[in-house]
Chains A and B, each alone.
Chain A
Amino acid sequence: MPENLLSLSGVHTHIGRYHILQGVDLAVPRGELTMLLGRNGAGKTTALRTIIGLWRASAGSIRFEADEIASWQTPAIADLGIAYVPESMGIFAGLTVQENLLLAARRGPPDEARLEWIFRFFPPMKKFWFLPAGLLSGGQKQMLSISRAIVEPRKLVLIDEPTKGLAPAIINNLIEALTELKKTDTTILMVEQNFHAARSLGDSVAVMEAGRIVHGGRMADLAADEALQNRLLGLSLEAHQ
Chain B
Amino acid sequence: MTPITGKPVDWIPPALLLAIALGGLALIGNPSTWVTLTVAGLAMGLLIFIMSSGLTLVFGLMDVMNFAHGLFIAVGAYVAVSVMKFFPAAAGSESLIVNLGALLPALLAAAAVAGLLGFFFERIIIKPVYGQHLKQILITTGGMIVAEQLIHVLWGPDLLPLPRPSALRGAFLIGDMAIEKFRLVAVVIGLGVFATMIVLLNRTKIGLLIRAGVENKEMVEAMGYRIRRLFVAVFVAGSALAGLGGALWGMYQESVTVAIGAQMMVLIFIVIIIGGLGSVGGCFTGALLVGLVANYVGYLSPKIALGSNILLMVLVLLWRPQGLYPMSKQ
Contact B5 A104 (CB under 8 A): no
Distance, CA A86 to CA B216, complexed state (A): 12
Contact A130 B5 (CB under 8 A): yes
Q: Which parts of A82-112 form the interface with B (CB within 8 Å)? A: 83-84, 86, 88, 90, 92-96, 99, 102-104, 106
Contact A127 B3 (CB under 8 A): yes
Main secondary structure of the interface of B (DSSP, over half): loop
Contact A92 B327 (CB under 8 A): no
- Find B222's partner among A90, A96, A123, A135 (CB 8 Å cutoff): A90
Contact B216 A92 (CB under 8 A): yes
Distance in Å: Cβ of B229 to nearest Cβ of chain A: 9
- By a CB distance below 8 angstroms, the chain A residues around B216 are 90, 92
Distance in Å: Cβ of A10 to nearest Cβ of chain B: 24
Closest residue on chain A to residue B326 by CB atoms: A94
* A130-B212 contact, Cβ under 8 Å, with A75-B224, A94-B328: no
Is B310 on the interface with A (CB-CB < 8 A)?
no
Contact B218 A54 (CB under 8 A): yes
- Find A103's partner among B6, B223, B227 (CB 8 Å cutoff): B223
Contact A134 B224 (CB under 8 A): no
Q: Which parts of B199-219 form the interface with A (CB within 8 Å)? A: 205, 208-209, 211-212, 215-216, 218-219
Contact B7 A129 (CB under 8 A): no
Distance, CA A94 to CA B279, complexed state (A): 11
Contact A103 B205 (CB under 8 A): yes
Contact B5 A92 (CB under 8 A): no
Is A79 on the interface with B (CB-CB < 8 A)?
yes
Contact A96 B7 (CB under 8 A): yes
Distance in Å: Cβ of A45 to nearest Cβ of chain B: 13
- By a CB distance below 8 angstroms, the chain B residues around A126 are 1, 3
* A130-B221 contact, Cβ under 8 Å, with A75-B226, A94-B328: no
Closest residue on chain B to residue A85 by CB atoms: B222
Distance, CA A94 to CA B278, complexed state (A): 12
- By a CB distance below 8 angstroms, the chain B residues around A207 are none
Contact B209 A103 (CB under 8 A): yes
Please indicate which of the listed interface residues B6, B212, B327 has the most CB atoms of chain A within 10 Å of its own CB: B212
Contact A92 B219 (CB under 8 A): yes
The count of chain A contact residues (Cβ–Cβ below 8 Å) is: 33
The count of chain B contact residues (Cβ–Cβ below 8 Å) is: 28
Is B225 on the interface with A (CB-CB < 8 A)?
yes
- Find B208's partner among A79, A103, A123 (CB 8 Å cutoff): A103
Contact A92 B4 (CB under 8 A): no
- By a CB distance below 8 angstroms, the chain A residues around B222 are 52, 54, 74, 78, 84, 86, 90
* A130-B7 contact, Cβ under 8 Å, with A75-B226, A86-B219, A92-B216: yes
Contact B330 A88 (CB under 8 A): yes
Closest residue on chain B to residue A102 by CB atoms: B208
Distance in Å: Cβ of A75 to nearest Cβ of chain B: 5
Encode A55-93 as 1/0 by CB contact (under 8 A) with B: 000000000000000000111001100011010101011
Is A153 on the interface with B (CB-CB < 8 A)?
no
Main secondary structure of the interface of A (DSSP, over half): mixed
Distance, CA A84 to CA B227, complexed state (A): 16
Distance in Å: Cβ of B188 to nearest Cβ of chain A: 29
Is A131 on the interface with B (CB-CB < 8 A)?
yes
Contact B215 A94 (CB under 8 A): yes
- By a CB distance below 8 angstroms, the chain A residues around B219 are 86, 90, 92
Contact A94 B208 (CB under 8 A): no
Distance, CA A239 to CA B3, complexed state (A): 38
Contact A94 B327 (CB under 8 A): yes
- By a CB distance below 8 angstroms, the chain A residues around B1 are 123, 126-127
Is A216 on the interface with B (CB-CB < 8 A)?
no
Encode B2-15 as 1/0 by CB contact (under 8 A) with A: 11111110000000
* A131-B328 contact, Cβ under 8 Å, with A95-B212, A103-B205: no
- By a CB distance below 8 angstroms, the chain B residues around A128 are 3-4
- By a CB distance below 8 angstroms, the chain B residues around A138 are none
Distance, CA A131 to CA B6, complexed state (A): 6
Distance, CA A216 to CA B179, complexed state (A): 78
* A103-B212 contact, Cβ under 8 Å, with A74-B221, A75-B225: yes
Is A23 on the interface with B (CB-CB < 8 A)?
no
* A106-B328 contact, Cβ under 8 Å, with A128-B4, A131-B7: no
Contact A106 B215 (CB under 8 A): no
Distance, CA A83 to CA B222, complexed state (A): 7
Encode A189-224 as 1/0 by CB contact (under 8 A) with B: 000000000000000000000000000000000000
Closest residue on chain B to residue A130 by CB atoms: B5
- Find A94's partner among B2, B211, B226 (CB 8 Å cutoff): B211
- By a CB distance below 8 angstroms, the chain B residues around A135 are 6
- By a CB distance below 8 angstroms, the chain B residues around A74 are 218, 221-222
- Find B224's partner among A78, A93, A94, A95 (CB 8 Å cutoff): A78
User: Can you list 16 A-B contacts with CB-CB less than 8 angstroms, sorted by A residue number?
Assistant: A52-B222, A74-B218, A74-B221, A75-B221, A93-B215, A94-B328, A95-B212, A102-B208, A103-B205, A103-B209, A104-B223, A127-B2, A130-B4, A130-B5, A135-B6, A148-B223
Given contacts A73-B221, A75-B221, 11 further A-B contacts (CB under 8 A): A75-B227, A86-B219, A86-B222, A92-B215, A92-B216, A95-B215, A102-B205, A103-B209, A106-B224, A126-B3, A130-B7
Residues of B that sit less than 8 Å from A by CB = 1-8, 205, 208-209, 211-212, 215-216, 218-227, 327-328, 330
